[in-house]
Structure 1
Amino acid sequence: MKLCSANLEYLPDNVKRPAYPRGRISEGIVHIGVGGFHRAHQAFYTDALMNQGQALDWAICGAGLRAEDRKARDDLKAQDYLFTLFELGDTPDTEVRVIGSMQQMLLAEDDPQALIAKLAEPNIRIASLTITEGGYCIDDSTGQFMAHLPQVQHDLAHPEAPKTVFGFFCAALERRRQAGIKPFTVMSCDNLPHNGQVARKALLAFAALAGDAYGAGLHGWIAEHVSFPNAMVDRITPMTSAAHRQQLLEQQGVDDHWPVVCEPFVQWVLEDRFSAGRPAWENVGVQFTEDVTPYEDMKIKLLNGSHLALTYLGFLKGYRFVHQTMNDPLFVEYIQTYMDRDVTPQLAPVPGIDLVAYKAKLIERFSNQAIADQLERVCSDGSSKFPKFTVPTLNQLIASGGELDRAALVVAAWALYLKGTDETGATYRIPDPRAAFCQALVASDEGLTGRLLGVEEIFGQHIPASAAFVEAFERQLHNLRTLGVTGTLTALLGKP
């Protein structure tokens, strides 16, 4: 059955569908960067609240700033912006649900003024973001906004036709300011430390550079009136494949151009700081808090850091899915030891969380056979992920005089992964916007350590300055070259 509004009543009984009349909902959120994670997370929570008869004035208007967003818009538009959330797990309690919380999706390249006008509407009270770690244009080594980037320079020169989220937000916020309308909350749902603070820093830096281009005094008005709550977001959401679509059709009878597949687990911890109100997401499981930092550190260092620790090793071994690495007892022991001995001692107590149970749940989630999470997805954009997910752990290990070999192996595995050939001889692409730059760092074995670790925007200053870390990195790199992944893990874990 083709998914669309007219066919909802004909879907199989086990497929849940919106319990609210979609004709009665109205938009309160504009979301920039409609992808799998947004649809499995924020759109899912909003739909769940609407199914309780609440938040009907908080529907989502999607927005795409990239040319590649067109296919997503076209697929969603063809089915009235409905999509299927297809949970995949190793237990029978998974669900299949049609999500109806999105009403439309605008493409910036078609009509930038239409998106500015939408953001300026009084009913839009939240502008949310999933624009990836690199989308905030912050240099990780300096913490400064990268004003030199071509897209930023374009927006500074052409404020009437922006291309970046910063240009669109400044244009819309200035309209709201002039009209006496409260600003929307900027709510980052990206997976990076202190995501709200990062969004605030980037937007204010852009507004300062723009000066009076958008309006005299806009920078100060944003600083005083716009809220930027931090959030911890969590749900493993693989890239939707043709096989997933076929599986949904064969098992559930739903013909969906772009379903979203995800694990059953979902978590959202959010600071309760909003400029103009918010949905009552707490009624569907969102945890509101005054300080998200301990939850954020736990998730980023344990889940995301562990993901990086296994993904490049797994790819070098010849695996292509996360669950394949977890079928290998050496990988499981390595990840468990990394979490217990290297990461956990660095974490502050997390209110309401038992870290032993949390780590056991991570092992269970990584081992999910049904979801078939792609290692390529986790490998992607490593040059942006390392500074956020791994480098803070490395820095604390160096500062405390801790063991370094397990953590150094993560970096060594990335170095070999960047060469583009695994242990079976198979070649693969490097999904990273800076792939050419990163691959040039490892092109020659001579001087590789200095070139790679010396990239300050990735590794900072402390890591290359630590003789102990450099030795550990070179030791693990040598082991990977001579012993292979299995031999390296065997030696590292002290196995006979």
Structure 2
Amino acid sequence: MTKPARLSNATLSHLSKEVTRPGYDRSQTKIGIVHLGIGAFHRAHQAVYTDSVLASGDNSWGILGVSLRSGDTRDALEPQDGLYTVATRSGDEDSFRVIGSIGGLIVAPENPAAVLDAMTNAAVRIVSLTVTEKGYCYSPASAALDEAHPDIVHDLANPAAPKSAIGFIVEAISRRRANKIEPFTLLSCDNLPANGETLRRVVTRFAELRDSELANYIKENIAFPSTMVDRIVPATTEADRATTLSATGLVDAWPIMTEPFTQWVIEDHFPAGRPAWENFGATFVEDIDAFELMKLRLLNGSHSTLAYLGYLAGHETVSDVMKAPGFSELIKAMMDEEISPTLPPLPGFDLEAYKAQLRERFCNPALRHRTWQIAMDGSQKLPQRLLNTIRKCIDNGLPFDRLALGVAAWMRYVTGADEKGDAIDVRDPLAAELKKRAANKNNAEELVTAFIGMDQIFGRDLPENEAFVQLVKTQLAKLMRLGAAKTVTQIV
């Protein structure tokens, strides 16, 4: 039996007829975007929009992908000439599209000089990021640069060989400034409130620690538009690779599985120019704050709550959780009664339809979005997804019982043992400290007291709010006594 060929420029013509392929000459594409954090989400989202721009005839916006940690993505895609398949799965039918917008890949730890050379190329007009919350080297509670972060300490001492996204950005700006090259625009595409402002804050502070004149240059010359990004992208499995091979006829080492829904809202502030992403579904606005809060609180807050409670209840995927008794009702009530009243007005936007659509997306059985995957890095996600919403509820005298249950479920999860006593693989930048704080704590009172003292997560206000502390203790006590499944059905 003949072994199937690998996806590449040379084998594009071998693709099944039903598969959409790049509709342009990739050899004529120029690199105009350097993207830091070339993971699955970027490849399912921004790279797809950009692929459409290239197909429209504007060949100046190819993407150079930079991995800041591992060489896995480079190792998978480089033999494929940067090509990969996006499988859009709805539960009714699947569609497959090969994306060609990634024109090169660099692994930063192997060659930091090459990354800086690329970022100082005058043709590069945008540097974008999907580095997750922890990649900003900031304190999640204050959103200020963590000046004691090991990567920040290293990068201040070694500006020509940085480790962090922030270090690369500031060194590249410094070199462009010295060589009188027009500044690029910095485009955060991570799930952070006011992500552009957050990026501005940490970049400017890092520059101040290096050189006050450089910091002033950044304040005056660099644009940091905020964005709201939305698309559910589960981790790729071997079964997904087999499905892709069957549908396309070619081996793809790292295809992407995603849903039909995609949304990208962007502040329109690109002094050096930008792709016409709006022609392919993106929305450009003057003020993005309301969209960001809506998505962070409704989608991401609900997702995290489902992940922690669902994992504890023994469910592998979000769609499994939504089918279990009480969970769908819990999330609907949390959206309607606790989250929606905290949101600023969005004139002309159908919030009820959006919430119904979210719940429908969570139920998509074709997307095997693992609760364990969503549960990662909770110490970085909790402030934006749940705690800031709770703060708003407290300010406005609103109930937050279900939001507090989500916080309690995170605390139960990061103890590192599930309801059967089996070990949980807790992936978190603060995993060691969380484990230490949870040690020998046998009840809700002790656990809440131990965790709530982490001001990098909870700040200093919430630990002093007796109503918040007592409610989290109450919810955690229920989880420990009844288990997640029974707690949810009882609350509903």
Q: Which amino acid aligns with 1:78?
A: P
CA contact (8 A) 2:327 2:489 kept: no
Q: Tell me if the contact between 2:134 and 2:429 (Cα under 8 Å) persists in the aligned partners.
A: no
Partner deviation per Cα, 1:352-388 (whole Å, 9 max, x = no partner): 4211000000001100100111111110000000011
CA distance in 2 between counterparts of 1:490 and 1:483 reads 10
* Secondary structure of the corresponding residue to residue 95 of structure 1: strand
Asked if structure 1 preserves the Cα contact closer than 8 Å seen for 2:413 and 2:424, the reply is no
- Of 36-45 and 237-246, the range deviating more from structure 2: 237-246
Structure-1 residue corresponding to 2:182: 182
Q: Aligned-pair distance for 1:425?
A: 4.4
Residue in 1 aligned with 2:60? 57
Once residues 38 and 23 of structure 2 are traced to their aligned partners in structure 1, the CA distance between those partners, rounded to angstroms, is: 23
Post-superposition offset of 1:396: 1.6
What CA distance in whole angstroms lies between the structure 2 residues aligned with 1:407 and 1:110? 43
Letter in 2 for 1:3: L
Q: Separation in 1 of the partners of 2:170 and 2:434?
A: 33
Contact persistence 2:51–2:101 (CA under 8 A): yes
| Contact 1:380 1:432 (C-alpha < 8 Å) held by counterparts | yes
CA contact (8 A) 1:186 1:229 kept: yes
Q: Which residue of 2 aligns with 1:399?
A: 395
Contact conserved, 1:225 with 1:275, CA < 8 A, in 2? no
Q: What aligned pairs does 1:318-333 form with structure 2 within 5 A after superposition? A: 318-333=314-329
Deviations 1:156-214 (A, max 9, x none): 111222222222222222222122221000100111111111111111111110127xx
Q: What is the CA distance between 1:402 and its match in structure 2?
A: 2.3
Aligned partners of 1:149 and 1:480: how far apart in 2? Answer: 34
CA distance in 2, matches of 1:412, 1:479: 9
Cross-structure match for 1:463? 462
The Cα shift of 1:240 comes to 1.0
Structure 1 stretch displaced more, 138-147 or 42-51: 138-147
Once the 2 structures are TM-superposed, how far is the Cα of residue 110 of structure 1 from its aligned partner? 2.4
Counterpart residue identity of residue 38, structure 2: V
* 1:250 counterpart SS class: helix
Q: How does 1:374-393 map to 2 (within 5 A)?
A: 374-393=370-389
Distance in 2, matches of 1:483 and 1:173, equals 55
Distance across 2 between alignment mates of 1:75 and 1:407: 39
Q: d(CA) in 2 for partners of 1:196 and 1:38?
A: 17
Give distance in 1, aligned partners of 2:107 and 2:140: 29
C-alpha change, 1:389 and 1:76, in structure 2 (3 Å) is same
- State how 1:374-453 maps to structure 2 within 5 Å: 374-443=370-439, 444-445=441-442, 447-453=446-452
Task: Give me the whole-angstrom Cα distance separating, in 2, the residues matched to 1:305 and 1:477.
Answer: 18
Cα shift readout 1:82-128 (whole Å, capped 9, x = no counterpart): 00011111233x42100000110112222222211111111000000
What residue in structure 2 maps to residue 122 of structure 1? 122
1:284-323 counterparts in 2 under 5 A? 284-323=280-319
SS in 2 for 1:2: coil
Structure 1: how far apart are the matches of 2:424 and 2:447? 21
TM-score by length of 2: 0.96
3-state DSSP of counterpart to 1:85: strand
Q: In the aligned structure 1, how far is the partner of 2:412 from the partner of 2:349?
A: 36
Report the Cα distance in structure 2 between the residues aligned to 1:468 and 1:110, rounded to whole angstroms: 50
1:206 aligned residue? 206
Q: Secondary structure at the match of 1:269?
A: strand
The alignment status of 1:42 with 2:39, answered yes or no, reads: no
For residues 96-245 of structure 1, the aligned pairs below 5 Å read 96-211=96-211, 217-245=213-241
Structure 1 pair 352–419 and aligned structure 2 pair: CA distance change class (3 A): same
The match for 1:73 is: 74
Q: Matched residue of 2:326: which SS?
A: helix
Alignment-derived partner of residue 91 in structure 1: 92
User: Once the 2 structures are TM-superposed, how far is the Cα of residue 254 of structure 1 from its aligned partner?
Assistant: 2.9
Separation of aligned partners in 1, 2:143 and 2:59? 39
List alignment gaps of at least 5 residues for structure 2. Answer: none
Tell me the residue number matched to 1:248: 244
Q: What is the CA-CA distance between 1:241 and the residue it aligns to?
A: 1.3
Root-mean-square deviation (CA), in Å?
1.4
- Where 2:354 maps in the other structure, the secondary structure is helix
Measured against aligned partners, the alpha-carbon deviations of 1:270-319 in whole angstroms (never above 9, x if no partner) come to: 00001300001110010000000010010000000001111111000111
Q: For 1:329, what is the secondary structure of its paired residue? A: coil
Alpha-carbon contact 1:238-1:262 (below 8 Å) kept: yes
Equivalent residue pairs, number? 485
- Check if 1:277 corresponds to 2:273: yes
One-letter amino acid of the structure 2 residue matched with residue 207 of structure 1: A
Report the Cα distance in structure 1 between the residues aligned to 2:462 and 2:167, rounded to whole angstroms. Answer: 35
Q: Determine whether 1:268 maps to 2:267.
A: no
- Give the one of 9, 15, 18 matched to 1:14: 18
Matches of 2:78 and 2:263, distance apart in 1:
28
Q: 1:25 aligns with which of 22, 25, 29?
A: 29
What is the rounded CA distance, in whole Å, between the counterparts of 1:106 and 1:367 in structure 2? 37
Q: Higher mean Cα deviation, 462-471 or 473-482?
A: 462-471
- SS of match in other structure, 1:173: helix
CA contact 1:318–1:424 (8 Å) conserved in 2: no
Summarize deviations over 1:12-50 as a string: whole Å, max 9, x none. 001100010111111100001100000001100000122
1:400-440 CA-partner distances (Å, limit 9, x unpaired): 23223212111111111122233344432001121121122
Report the more deviating stretch, 125-134 or 395-404. 395-404
Query: Secondary structure, in 3 states, of the residue corresponding to 1:106?
Result: strand
Q: Secondary structure at the match of 1:203?
A: helix
Superposed displacement of residue 351, structure 1: 4.0
Contact 1:376 1:431 in 2 (8 A): no
Gaps of 5+ in 1: none
Give the secondary structure class of the aligned counterpart of 1:78: helix
Amino acid at match of 1:293: D
